[in-house]
Amino acid sequence: MAVIVAFWIAFRQGRQAAAARFAIRRADARVKSMQTSKDIRHDVQNADRADLERRAHRWMRD
- What is the DSSP secondary-structure string of 22-34? HHHHHHHHHHHHH
32, 24 in Cβ contact below 8 A? no
Q: Is 48 helix (H, G, I), strand (E, B) or coil?
A: coil
What is this structure's pTM? 0.64
Please compute the mean of the pLDDT values over residues 35-62 and round it to a whole number.
92
Please compute the mean of the pLDDT values over residues 55-61 and round it to a whole number.
89
The number of residues in the chain equals: 62
pLDDT at 41: 95
How many other CB atoms are there within 10 angstroms of residue 37's CB atom? Answer: 10
